Amino acid sequence: MTSNEKMQKLAQRYHNKSLSRAERREAYKALELERYRADKRKPISLRLYTFFWSVVELVLGVFWLLSGVGIKITLPTSFDDIIGEYIWVPTFSIAIICVILNLNYKKPLKDELSSQNMAKANLAGFIIGLAVLWIARIAYFMFSGNNTLVLSDIASERLLLGLFAFIRSIIGFVFIILDFKDTLSGADDDCVEAE
């Protein structure tokens, strides 16, 4: 049976109305696995893929947060002006890099262990992300002294987007740490010597 026929069969099974939720989930996983195997693009490890997206989200998150808060620094050139004016530069470059990456590499599959690690990372990343933001807020009020930094208008949509991207990036980094631990612990455990 060719890969295409296999995928058609799996897709038919997935769309079967009489399937239970668990059966549908299994059918979907099987379909995804078959699609992954049939994909001709180069594979990329889940860790590298997550790392790339975490860096992207960190850069975007920080930029959007800063521009959303609209911090004015009383210097000859306002920091806010620079961020506001040039925010499209990182956003646009990252968008191009993302397109190139997605054209060349297939999205890695998530298995049950990575889903479990991702669930742990979601909780830890959310708490760590919020803690970092709170520390930044406290540091800002402690050291700004209202003389050098003034909060101007707050753009809620940028703030929300920035917060979302920032927390997602932290989640990604926590996932990488959890995942990396597994590989390190079994790196020399392969029974068969590499050729």
Partner 1 sequence: MAEFRTRLKELRAARNMKQEELAELVGVRRETIIRLEKGLYNPSLKLAVDIARVFGCTVEEVFIFDYDE
Interface contacts to partner 1, rule CB under 8 A: 26, 29, 33, 46, 109, 111-114, 179, 182-183, 185-186, 189-192
**With respect to partner 1, which residue has the nearer C-beta, 2 or 115?**
115
Residue ranges of the alpha helices (H) in 39-187? 46-69, 79-86, 88-104, 112-144, 156-185
Cβ at position 47, least distance to partner 1 in Å: 9
Q: Whole-angstrom Cα distance, residue 46 to residue 51?
A: 8
Cβ at position 53, least distance to partner 1 in Å: 17
Q: Nearest-CA neighbor of 114 among 179, 172, 174? A: 179
SS3 17: coil
Cβ at position 168, least distance to partner 1 in Å: 21
**With respect to partner 1, which residue has the nearer C-beta, 72 or 107?**
107
**With respect to partner 1, which residue has the nearer C-beta, 29 or 72?**
29
Cβ at position 129, least distance to partner 1 in Å: 24
Terminal-residue alpha carbon distance, the chain: 32
**With respect to partner 1, which residue has the nearer C-beta, 33 or 139?**
33
User: CA quadruple 167, 170, 175, 176: dihedral positive or negative?
Assistant: positive
Length of the chain: 195
The label of the residue with tokens 């994909």 reads: 39
